[in-house]
Every structure is written in structure tokens, then in C-alpha cells.
A and B are shown apart, each in its own frame.
Chain A
């Protein structure tokens, strides 16, 4: 039997470092690469069937239309991704006209920009609503766990421990996305919110399976210490945790490899969430329960005897 509890200082330390690193990345560091769903604006995907078109050519056209600070990325083969402030219809037409003037040999179908616009007010609403949704979902999950574990003593601990694991997962995922934003320009957008919320669901789902095992073993009442019961539960449920994570990850990786670019960022969130969620169920959520039982939430109580 693996002694998960004995090595918890290592895992707790690693997690603490990662969470702090994520927080630093989010606040002091570069922060999330916010897409137009968060900032408001217009994104344009442009395909010009001319290999010689340079980013600067596109920049000139957008600058002439009054978008000198456009963010322009070349994605190769004459295709570009451009982010600007919100473009109104007139501005869009100006840009289209300028493109047609600049590349007269291309018909309207060769230059067919895909335009997505999100107003500033919508973007603000999206962010505040996303945060609200997370908070509300967390509250309901705590309440549900409190109810589901009502037969066990100190049932509220299970709900709070699950939410601590959940917060851990969310922060690590966000931190990972700061890095991905720098490395591969992964943007956070509406589907990122969906992904994060799914991670919450998955994280809790996984934690509950572990807690369920603890609940069952506590009820059996073998007279062993809580620490031993938790450790036994973790050993019993680890194969299931790994099996489930593995199969879910397999599906996500298959989607990442074969599923086209549209869902890439979303799937990356999910994949990170599944991995981190599995880890936190075992090494965070269950450990919080043990720590709480032995030393109190703030660690003031005297350590109990280990079995």
C-alpha cells in the first residue's frame, strides 16, 4: 500500500509553489491572453491567396482605416488573424475596399474575411457573469456535498475541501494558460470559460469519488485512525481515478490531434483540467481532510498520533 499521507508535504509544497507561480503569472506576469470575448473588439481572419503578402502590408491597410494599433499575426500561406477595437460596418467596408484595391486581381471570394465582433459592454458582462457562474456553481457544490456527506461527522469539511481542490485546479489551469498564451498564442474566450467551468465539474466529480470511498470506510468504523482510513481509501480508488482520467484524456487528445483548430484552446483547458483534477483529488482534497481532522483548519490543534 502506498503511503500517500506520509509524503503529503512534498505534494502540498509542489502545489503551493505551482499555485503561487500561477498567481504571479496572472497578476505580475504577462497575464491571460484575453480574446475579444473579454476585451471587446473585432477579430478578423483573412485569407489572401498571395504568398507574398506580408504582415506589414496588412498592417498598412488596417492603419489607413484607422486601426493603427491592430494586432496582426500571420498564420502562414497568406492567412492572417487580426484583432482591433470594435469595427463598425463602415470601417469594415473601408477595410474590405482597401483590400480589394490592394489586391485587385483577387475576387471577392478570395478575400473573404471572417469577422467576429464583441461589443465592450458584452465583454464586460461576459467576464462578470463568468465569475458569478463559477462562484454560484461552487456554492451549490458545497451545499450539495454538505448534504451528501451529512451522515459523516463534520460533513462541511468535505464540501470545503472539495472547493479548495477546485480552486487549486482553476488556478493551475489559468496559470498554464498564461504560459500557453505566450507560447502558442492561446486566447481565452467564451469557450475557455466553458472549459474552465467544465474543469470545475470534473474536479468535483473526481473528488467526490475519492470522498465517497472515505465516507464508506469511515462508516465501516474499523477503529483505525482517520489518516489510515483516508490512505486506504486513496489506495482503493487510485486505479479507478487513473482509469477514468486516462480514458477521458484519450478522447481529448484524439480531439486535439484530429479535431481541427476551432476547439484547440478549449480542449487544452479540458486536458489540463483532467490531469490537475485527478492529481488534486488525491493529493489536495483528501490531504486537506486529514490535516483538518488532525490539526484544525488553521493548524493550531496539536498533531494527533499517526497510526
Chain B
């Protein structure tokens, strides 16, 4: 009787361990032997859930080269890398991107929880609070009463239901803007931009702006942005304006027309400001009129006060609702914004010492929504070549401290070409597009070159690309500034090599500290950018997150009800063996779920179905055993002997029937990939593991528990070990014949 006891202890430990695995939502084990990070706090029991339970999108793409040939595995690898970048920049939950088929011919993109949109907004100067934005989004203007806004690193992140996508005609032109764009515009209309201006004094003879002594106007930038008084006032206060009643100021036309200060104003101003300078007197009305002319009819104009509440002379704040972020024309040049127009118009009255705007939208990004994601994924990879002028090697003006920002000369040598801050105009750098398209690149592959240490990336161009490449490498090599050629993929820098000579034969290699892996990656990415692969969406499934969690909840409830019914039947009909089967079944369920979490196996809806089916099969083993034990008892054997023989007799059929199920699972798993749906693989894997575990619990656990119970007082009541209605337990064999 020592064996069952030891077995019981083992089972108890197994049960406790499994329960522990399930109750700790997430655990990390990091030793030199084991490196585990399992579990997801957000889900039930910390199990990882598939798209059909969690909600999300399942997209399968087929890649075709532009010349019509199917893309090979290397091409697909390149596309996968591009998609990974695009989708992760999408910034929502973790996407899964994998190649399907062997050899790979399709790409699977799984985007969890996409049924909603995220808007990230940054306001210049952080003038809008999260609560304000939330109230605005929930208001009737936008109408997303479910929107929530949080602050993340100076960004306001708004989460809301899915937004209507843009309407495009058959050619892809936008007919109707997307809801994201509409929201952006109403944001710009409703969150006024504050402009702070001050009018400078002007020398009447030279027209030059003299140095202003009090520093308010001269140090305009700082004064305007740091002064707390800049915040927009609720209403204009004309009374606070210096009262100058130039009767002719009411007419808007001359103000607009004259670029120089009106001589009329000069008289009044001279009296106030002394003989040297002329400060044109400006009224709130005048500013409002000027602004009305550029399209801001109801601008709020106010004086700006200093810390003591004293109005600062010639310093004004205006609210400019509807200032939009600059748009680009076809040459990628910024078109003037409303604020620019206002500035120009005000400059027409008098030179401005300060013109600062705050509250403009600096960043506005819409993420989320299946349509958005699909649009993002479906684009062809864009390879850009740009000539980059690095930051100045030596100080632009003699005597300037150089390198800037306290960098050492060594650090500067790298930073001037690699740090975006330093290769831009303030430091003498800049970028300029070159007329090399991705299609001009004919090949790119990793390799080695004689005389070069380490892997290189070989590239070759067509005739046009070759000419342009010759020009640009020539320019770079001749310039003393040691500039580089920057190559971008989808707007992200891939590599930026320098050139020591003009390369005109159409092929070149890029070298420098590449690892073999990096060289391969770069060449694949160059190639995928050079070879526009068309992605065709061949399969799409979207599951609403609420529908998914609803399915899970319902399946769970159904599973529990089903399990309870089965246990009730087993206990009522098979009595003690039924109780044993129930205990084994509970152990089975707990161990199986713990295994799912440990391996880990993503639980899908079909997985849940497999789970439930495997419960049926696990019960089957127990029923087989109970029936066999009954027969042995009927033949007049002792209880313990009957149990042992019952198990032994039941084993071949349990083994063989389960092996056949496992065979089916293996075939399903094998074909599951080709069946184009992870549904089947999930089912096969879940069922397969379930069957293996059920064989263990039914055979080992049931036997141990059964023997333990038989050894107690219960064992003396033989009829509680046979099913209801069994006759002839104590009689000899042949009763049934």
C-alpha cells in the first residue's frame, strides 16, 4: 500500500504546480538553464488568446513581382521586414508577421485588437490638456462619446472606436476625407492658436528697427514663450489699449496696401517715444481688421501684461482659430499657413519684433482600424536616395566654439553625418533628393570584396541610375566636407555610405563594419525596395474584439456546464469509479491549461472546441476502465485484482484509439499550414496535446486514486464500484450468457 500513497503525493504536487502556474498571471524565470517569460496579465488565467477570441485581423497576402513572376523566398523575406516596420510603426498591439507555405509564397499578418482607432496629437507648447481634448472628442462636434485620452510623453493619446476611412474613387483619388482628417480639422478650428506679436519701433529716417532697451521686444522669442502672461485672455479689453484715435485708422484698405508705416501715425507716436524712434500706434480694432482681411474675422486680440500686471507696450496676443499645420505643395515646399498670412498682413502695418505661435498641432497621427492598416501594408516599398551634406567640419564662423555642444572632435566626426540634429541647416548640413528611383537599382546582394575586411553589400544600377550615381559620388568625393549618400526605405535610413571617388560603371559595393547578417538584411531591404512587389490581399478575417471575448466567455460557460453534466453523469452512474474519473478529469483540465500556458499555445476558438472534444475522449478512457473493472468483478475477482486487471484490459483500446486520434492530429497539423488557416493547426495541436495528457491522467492518475480508495473502508462495498443496475457482481462468470 505504499505505492499508491507515493503516487497520490506525486499527483498532489502536479496539481498544486499546475494551479500555481495558472493562478500567477505572469511569471518570468531567468536562470542559465531556463529562460521563461510566460503569461499575459490581461487575459483569463494568463493564457494567450488567438485573434478569434481576442479580436483582431488576420490578413494573408500573396506577393507578385511587377513583372508578373511569383516572388521567391528572399523577396518575401524582404517584404516581411518592410511590413514589420510599417505595422510596428502603426503602434498598436504586437503584430505577428509570418511567411506561409514551403517554399514560402504568402505572408500572414495578424493584427490583434484592431477594431478601434488611436489618435496621437502633440500641440506646440502643450496648450491643450487631456481632459480638454477628451471633452472635445466626446462633444457633438466629433461625436465619439467613447473616446478616452491619456498623456504619454507630451503626446495626447486618444483611443476611440473605428474611424471612417477616406473615400476614394476607382483611381485612388480621395473624394471624401477620412474621419481622422475631419477630426484634425475640427481640432484646428476649435483649439485656437495663440500668436504673440510685438510691434517694433522704427527709425523714421532709415526705417531700421533700433535696439529696444527694455529687452522685451528685442529678446522676443524668449519673452514670448516663457512669459506666463502669454496665455490667451478670455475677451479683448479695448479699454486697456493706449488710446489713440486716429480717425483714418478705421479704413482697412490703406493698411493693407501700405507696406511702410503711415506718416499720419507718426505725429502721435513721436510725441510719446521721443525723437529717435517712431512707434506706430496700433489698436486692437486695427489688428482685428487686418486679421479679418486674411480670413480670421473674430480674432481675439489682447494686450500682454508683465508679471506685475502692467500692460507691456506694443505687445499683443491674438487667438487665431483655424490655423492648420502647413501643407506641402508638389515640390514638398511648405505652403503658407493662416498664421503666416496674419504675420505678413501685420508686418504691413509695422515691422514686427516678435511673432510667435503656440498651440499649433505639431504631430497628428491616426492609427488603428483595419482599413488604415491595410492601406499601410498594401503600399509598395519606397526607396529614396538623398545626398546628405553633413554638419560643417570646421566652425562656420571663425571663433565659434566647434564642434558644437561640447562634442569631442571624434564624436563630431560621426555625429555630423549620423545625428539628424547635426546634418541639418543650423550646423551647415542638409539633404537633397537625387533622381535615383528604387527601380534604378538592378540588384543588391551581400558578399565579400578582395582587400576589404568583412562582408559588403554589392549594388548595381541600370543606365539611368548609373549616371546619377556617377554624378552624386563625384560630387561627394570632390567636396571637402566628406558628405554621404543616404539611402532610405519607407522614410527610414537604411545605410549612408560616403564615397572617395566617382563611381561610374554602374556597380559598387558598400562596406564598413557589417556583420554577415546585417549585410544580408541591408541587401534584402535594398532589393525589396528596388523591386516593387505587389501585395495582393487574398484572405482576410476580422473579428470584433467584443465578439471575440463574448465567444470566449460563452464557450467557457458552455464548457463548464458540459463538464459539470459529464461529472454528474459519471458520479451518478459509475459511482466510485465515476468519482475517480471526475477527479482525474479535473486534474486533466488543470494540467492541460497549465501546459498551454507553459509551452505556450495560443488558445483559439477551434482550440476551445478541441479542448472540449478531448474532455470527451478523456472521459472515454475512464468509462472503458470502469466497464472493464465491472466485468472483472462480475467474474468474481477481488476488488483490487479487478481494478488492476480492468486497467490492464482497458489499456490496449485506450492506447490504440488515442493513437489513431493522434495520427489524425498530425495529419491535420501538417496540412493545416497549407489549408491556409491557422484554425486547423490550432485545433490539431490542442487536441493532440489533450489526448496525450488524457492518456496520462486516465491511466496513471485514475489508477492511483482508485487503488487508494479501494484500500479504504469504501472498498468493502463492492456494489459502489459498479455502474447502476449491474447485476451479478458476486456471482460467477456466465450470468449474462
A residues in contact (CB < 8 Å) with B: 1, 37, 42, 88-90, 92-94, 96-97, 100, 107-109, 112, 114-119, 121-122, 125-126, 129-130, 132-133, 136-137, 140-141, 144-145, 148, 190-191, 193-194, 197-198, 200-202, 204-206, 208-209, 212-213, 215-216, 235-237, 239-240, 243-244, 246-248, 250-255, 257-260, 262-263, 266-267, 270, 274
**CB pair B558 A259 closer than 8 Å:** yes
Contact of B538 (CB < 8 Å), options: A122, A255, A257: A122
A-B contact pairs, 9 of them (CB 8 A): A118-B538, A119-B62, A121-B538, A122-B676, A133-B675, A251-B566, A254-B562, A255-B559, A263-B551
* Closest B residue to A197 using CB positions: B668
A197 to B76, CA, bound (A): 32
**CB pair B537 A117 closer than 8 Å:** yes
**CB pair A243 B671 closer than 8 Å:** no
**CB pair A251 B612 closer than 8 Å:** yes
**CB pair A194 B680 closer than 8 Å:** yes
* Closest B residue to A232 using CB positions: B737
B544 at interface, CB cutoff 8 A: yes
Nearest-CB distance from A203 to chain B (Å)? 9
**CB pair A144 B562 closer than 8 Å:** no
* Closest A residue to B677 using CB positions: A190
Known pairs A191-B679, A201-B660; A133 contacts B668 (CB<8 A)? yes
Nearest-CB distance from B326 to chain A (Å)? 28
Known pairs A112-B162, A247-B570; A140 contacts B616 (CB<8 A)? no
**CB pair B667 A205 closer than 8 Å:** no
**CB pair A247 B555 closer than 8 Å:** no
B464 at interface, CB cutoff 8 A: no
Known pairs A197-B664, A201-B665, A216-B649; A89 contacts B537 (CB<8 A)? yes
3 tightest CB-CB pairs across the interface, nearest first?
A248-B616, A119-B538, A254-B562
* Closest A residue to B663 using CB positions: A140
Known pairs A114-B543, A190-B679, A246-B569; A204 contacts B538 (CB<8 A)? no
Write out the residue numbers on chain B whose beta carbons fall within 8 Å of the beta carbon of A235. 736
**CB pair B653 A209 closer than 8 Å:** yes
Known pairs A250-B562, A263-B609; A208 contacts B623 (CB<8 A)? no
A112 to B659, CA, bound (A): 45
Known pairs A122-B538, A133-B675, A250-B562; A140 contacts B619 (CB<8 A)? no
**CB pair B671 A247 closer than 8 Å:** no
Contacting residues of chain B (111-164) with chain A, CB-CB under 8 angstroms: 115, 143-144, 146, 161-164
**CB pair A148 B656 closer than 8 Å:** yes
* Closest B residue to A112 using CB positions: B162
**CB pair A255 B558 closer than 8 Å:** yes
* Closest B residue to A162 using CB positions: B660
* Closest A residue to B726 using CB positions: A239
Write out the residue numbers on chain A whose beta carbons fall within 8 Å of the beta carbon of B54. none
B168 at interface, CB cutoff 8 A: yes
Q: How many residues of B contact A (CB 8 A)?
A: 93
Nearest-CB distance from A220 to chain B (Å)? 12
**CB pair B555 A259 closer than 8 Å:** yes
* Closest A residue to B60 using CB positions: A122
Write out the residue numbers on chain B whose beta carbons fall within 8 Å of the beta carbon of A206. 657
**CB pair B550 A260 closer than 8 Å:** yes
Write out the residue numbers on chain A whose beta carbons fall within 8 Å of the beta carbon of B60. 122
Contact of A190 (CB < 8 Å), options: B374, B660, B680: B680
**CB pair A194 B606 closer than 8 Å:** yes
* Closest A residue to B565 using CB positions: A250
0 or 1 for each of B407-427: is its CB under 8 Å from A? (1 = yes): 000000000000000000000
A240 to B581, CA, bound (A): 14
Nearest-CB distance from B332 to chain A (Å)? 27
**CB pair A240 B164 closer than 8 Å:** no
B478 at interface, CB cutoff 8 A: no
Known pairs A248-B619, A250-B569, A260-B550; A240 contacts B627 (CB<8 A)? yes
**CB pair A137 B663 closer than 8 Å:** yes
Q: Main secondary structure on chain A at its contact with chain B?
A: helix
**CB pair A116 B675 closer than 8 Å:** no
* Closest A residue to B723 using CB positions: A239
Known pairs A130-B675, A216-B649, A258-B561; A112 contacts B680 (CB<8 A)? no
Write out the residue numbers on chain B whose beta carbons fall within 8 Å of the beta carbon of A197. 664, 667-668, 680
Contact of A112 (CB < 8 Å), options: B374, B544, B610, B670: B544
Write out the residue numbers on chain B whose beta carbons fall within 8 Å of the beta carbon of A89. 371, 374-375, 378, 537
Nearest-CB distance from B579 to chain A (Å)? 15
0 or 1 for each of B627-663: is its CB under 8 Å from A? (1 = yes): 1000100000000000000000100110011111101
**CB pair B674 A212 closer than 8 Å:** no
A3 to B570, CA, bound (A): 28
A137 to B668, CA, bound (A): 8
**CB pair B167 A204 closer than 8 Å:** no
Write out the residue numbers on chain A whose beta carbons fall within 8 Å of the beta carbon of B551. 259-260, 262-263
**CB pair A115 B542 closer than 8 Å:** yes
Known pairs A114-B544, A263-B609; A247 contacts B161 (CB<8 A)? no
* Closest A residue to B658 using CB positions: A205
* Closest B residue to A140 using CB positions: B663
B617 at interface, CB cutoff 8 A: yes
Nearest-CB distance from B583 to chain A (Å)? 16
**CB pair A208 B656 closer than 8 Å:** yes
Write out the residue numbers on chain B whose beta carbons fall within 8 Å of the beta carbon of A133. 667-668, 670-671, 675
Nearest-CB distance from A233 to chain B (Å)? 11
Write out the residue numbers on chain A whose beta carbons fall within 8 Å of the beta carbon of B303. none
A122 to B100, CA, bound (A): 12
**CB pair B609 A208 closer than 8 Å:** no
Write out the residue numbers on chain B whose beta carbons fall within 8 Å of the beta carbon of A122. 60, 538-539, 676
A266 to B736, CA, bound (A): 41
If A89-B374, A90-B170 are given as contacts, then 12 extra A-B residue pairs at C-beta distance below 8 Å, sorted by A number, are A90-B168, A119-B62, A122-B538, A136-B667, A145-B660, A201-B665, A209-B624, A248-B620, A258-B558, A259-B551, A267-B609, A274-B616
Contact of B664 (CB < 8 Å), options: A96, A201, A239, A263: A201
Write out the residue numbers on chain A whose beta carbons fall within 8 Å of the beta carbon of B179. 108
Contact of B623 (CB < 8 Å), options: A109, A132, A240, A250: A240
**CB pair B566 A140 closer than 8 Å:** no
**CB pair A116 B558 closer than 8 Å:** no
* Closest B residue to A248 using CB positions: B616
**CB pair B554 A260 closer than 8 Å:** yes
A273 to B390, CA, bound (A): 72
Nearest-CB distance from B697 to chain A (Å)? 15
B683 at interface, CB cutoff 8 A: yes
Nearest-CB distance from A49 to chain B (Å)? 13
Write out the residue numbers on chain A whose beta carbons fall within 8 Å of the beta carbon of B161. 107-109, 112
B557 at interface, CB cutoff 8 A: yes
Write out the residue numbers on chain B whose beta carbons fall within 8 Å of the beta carbon of A200. 664
A144 to B374, CA, bound (A): 46
Write out the residue numbers on chain B whose beta carbons fall within 8 Å of the beta carbon of A262. 52, 547, 551, 605
Write out the residue numbers on chain A whose beta carbons fall within 8 Å of the beta carbon of B143. 107
Contact of B558 (CB < 8 Å), options: A126, A244, A254: A254
B540 at interface, CB cutoff 8 A: yes
0 or 1 for each of B165-179: is its CB under 8 Å from A? (1 = yes): 111101010011001
Nearest-CB distance from B170 to chain A (Å)? 6
**CB pair A116 B609 closer than 8 Å:** no
Write out the residue numbers on chain B whose beta carbons fall within 8 Å of the beta carbon of A251. 559, 562-563, 565-566, 612-613, 615-616
Write out the residue numbers on chain A whose beta carbons fall within 8 Å of the beta carbon of B561. 254, 258
B716 at interface, CB cutoff 8 A: no
A129 to B677, CA, bound (A): 11
B518 at interface, CB cutoff 8 A: no
Write out the residue numbers on chain B whose beta carbons fall within 8 Å of the beta carbon of A100. 164
A206 to B658, CA, bound (A): 10
A193 to B664, CA, bound (A): 13
B5 at interface, CB cutoff 8 A: no
**CB pair A239 B683 closer than 8 Å:** no
Write out the residue numbers on chain B whose beta carbons fall within 8 Å of the beta carbon of A205. 617, 620, 657-658, 660-661
A175 to B13, CA, bound (A): 49
Nearest-CB distance from A189 to chain B (Å)? 9
Write out the residue numbers on chain A whose beta carbons fall within 8 Å of the beta carbon of B539. 117-119, 122
Nearest-CB distance from A86 to chain B (Å)? 8
